[in-house]
Amino acid sequence: MTRKIGLPLGLFGTGILIGALFLHAAAPQRPPWLSGVEWPVPKAIDPGGLGKPPSDAIVLFDGKDLSAWEGAEKWKIEDGVAICGSSITTKQAFGDCQLHVEWASPAEVKGTGQQRGNSGIFFMGYYEIQILDSYENETYVDGMVASIYKQRPPFVNASRKPGEWQTFDIIFKAPRFDEKGKLREHARVTVLHNGVVVQHNFELLGRTNYRVPPYYEAHPDKLPLSIQYHGSPVRFRNIWIRELEDDHEELLTPLRNKLREIDWAFQPYNG
Ligand code: MG
């Protein structure tokens, strides 16, 4: 049965297809759309490789010394690894940035909760992404590893076992304040823990504090980055940062405004 009607239907279908192609070819076509935005050509960089920073990164620790930091006198460097012995602060100030850091909590497990492998990355000295040994270690979830401290837990717990190397790749957007010091734009952060997205463009509520609620207070556009010492000899290696200077948003503004004015109901799609 199927075979008998197959041929006439096939011919009919082919006819429709040819007809459609003819109509399509005959319809007047718009030229391709051009945005009109004159973008600068993105700079070519060497993206690096496994364990190697991109060529435009500022290396904060490459296994040799902590000369990029202040206050590292109590740290030890052994076999290319830096062992936390005090809170340290970068000499250079940063605003919007991408940070890569590899860390390992002590292999020998001591203490529980917040006392186990605690450290932290403080962007601008005020906004902490928690470092903690959260492998089978209970604590308040907005204080576990990769949390925005006391503001938001990570989506998942992507922890490796104590002593194993772990990575943080963090994209941080600094808050913006107006001339009067009023908050214009919250800080934002995206965190990948061991390659897994655990925070996605989170809008920070303010400074991350232990004893007081989060709040914003105006500060410069760029401030140094800190690594916290919380009594644990957390190990670090391969730390680098890239400044994210200018997204050229102003180049897109005229186009955004123009697109807003178009009444799409009268603009049918035409290839
Ligand atoms: Mg901490």
pLDDT tens digit string along 138-184? 999 999 999 999 999 999 999 999 999 999 999 999 999 999 999 99
According to DSSP, residue 115 is labeled: G
Residue-level pLDDT at 262:
82
Spatial distance between the Cα atoms of 132 and 139, rounded to a whole number of angstroms: 10
> 129 CA distance to ligand 1 centroid (A)?
8
CA of 210 to the centre of ligand 1 (A): 10
Residue 241 structure tokens: 């940062």
CA distance 241 to 227: 13
20 phi and psi angles, rounded to 5 deg:
-65, -40
What's the whole-model pTM score?
A: 0.86
Side chain identity, residue 219: H
pLDDT tens digit string along 137-147?
Answer: 999 999 999 99
Beta strands in the chain (DSSP E): 58-61, 69-70, 76-78, 81-83, 88-94, 97-104, 119-123, 127-131, 166-173, 176-177, 183-185, 188-193, 196-203, 223-227, 235-243
Beta-carbon neighbours within 5 Å of ion ligand 1 = 118, 120, 130, 228
If you measure from the C-alpha of residue 119 to the centroid of ligand 1, how many angstroms do you get, rounded to a whole number?
Answer: 4
Distance CA 215, CA 206 (A): 4
| Cα(267) to centroid(ligand 1), Å | 54
Distance 114 CA to ligand 1 centre (A): 8
Q: What is the pLDDT of residues 219-268, one digit of tens each?
A: 999 999 999 999 999 999 999 999 998 788 899 999 999 898 887 776 66
Residue 146, helix vs strand vs coil: coil
How far does residue 183's CA lie from ligand 1's centre (Å)? 26
